[in-house]
Structure 1
Amino acid sequence: MLDASERVFVRDGYERAQIEAIAAEAGRTKGAVYAHFRSKEDIFFALIERKAQERRDEFLHSAEGKDLEQRLAIVKKLFLGALRNENWPILMLEFKLLALRNKASLQRVRDLYKLIYEDMGRAILSGRGVSTVETKERDIIALAILRGIPGAVILEQQFNPGLISSAVADQVFETIFDALLGHRNNSPTPKPSGGTQKTKRARKL
């Protein structure tokens, strides 16, 4: 049933999707759908949670025991997979629109969002060498930008299907990924020396 709902949500969008359409796609009755789910929102959240859990498990299994460079490569691979799989970026766009339009479900959306991205973000941000409030904030913003790219590419391709080939998209994304999350120097940046009192006096002169 969740597989059927995925096809309907991707095709029709969350707002236009109907329980009847999901039931028909699954070869079930509307009553059978309501026997498992209370509402369309419950179906949608169950679908997102299942796909998020699959991605989370894939990442955690692949990243176990790996160093930072290897974890970054795994995350990059997951993002590249999202570029090739239209369903995930489209579902995430619908998920974010739901958060904007339905404040009553905002906490539920935030909890699910954490499930999707928290472990991945923690794995990247840990082991980044010497960090400051500024560098941590920069990494968090970098991750947010990277998360938005697959959805942005999918949207642009609707207006211009021949915009870019998947190979070129991969190259562009890898360049952006490396620029935003490339290795930081593990050594603290030395602060300019104040110099001796004699040097300071010389500078004043």
Structure 2
Amino acid sequence: MSNNIYSPTFDKIAAGWYGSRHHTIFKTELDELACRWQGGRLINIGCGHGADFLPFRDLFELFGIDESSEMLKFAAKYAKKYSFKAELKQADMRALPYPEAYFDNAIAVASLHHIEGREEQLRALREIRRVMKPEAEAFITVWNACQPRFWLRRRDTYIPWRSGFEIAQRFYHLFTYGEIEKLVKSAGFIIIKSGPEARYGLPVKHFSRNICLVIKRAD
């Protein structure tokens, strides 16, 4: 099961991504969630090179999936560098290789927006819900369609990434606040928090780069 050119594209850019995106941009949010959740099994969905694991390394049993085998190689390297263990599997977020109600919490940072089509996005969210325990919480981020640099973009678009002399095109679906909030509710979640990234400084949330959601299963 593939989504556009997701896996081949991220295989191509994995080395450059590891070097230039070495630390999570959501450290404030993830630090707060690590304190809030206080341990248990955590799945990182679309884990990439593993930077979003770091705030959870001390108290949590860590699991990560990604479609890109090259990203997973760098995630293993990242885990070794920062002295933590994570079970890593190559998998599609629409078909998670875990039993129902297996995880205490989940994060899906900048992964859902790489899936094309509402039904496929909904399928991914339902899979996240399936593997979460009752009352478990998840943190999800997507790119915001209303950020100024995207005002002239289509909602389904390709964003280039230069790797050496090669340019890789990454598929994105750009969400609005209302759209993603409606989608997670349709997938069986309650929204605890919906807002911009912590480092966003404007008083109006609608122009933030990211939309950040904390949600929990509606049981």
TM, length-normalised to structure 1: 0.28
Higher relative helix content? 1
The structure having more radius of gyration, on CA atoms, is 1
Which structure dedicates a bigger proportion of its chain to strand? Answer: 2
| Alignment TM-score, normalising by the size of structure 2 | 0.27
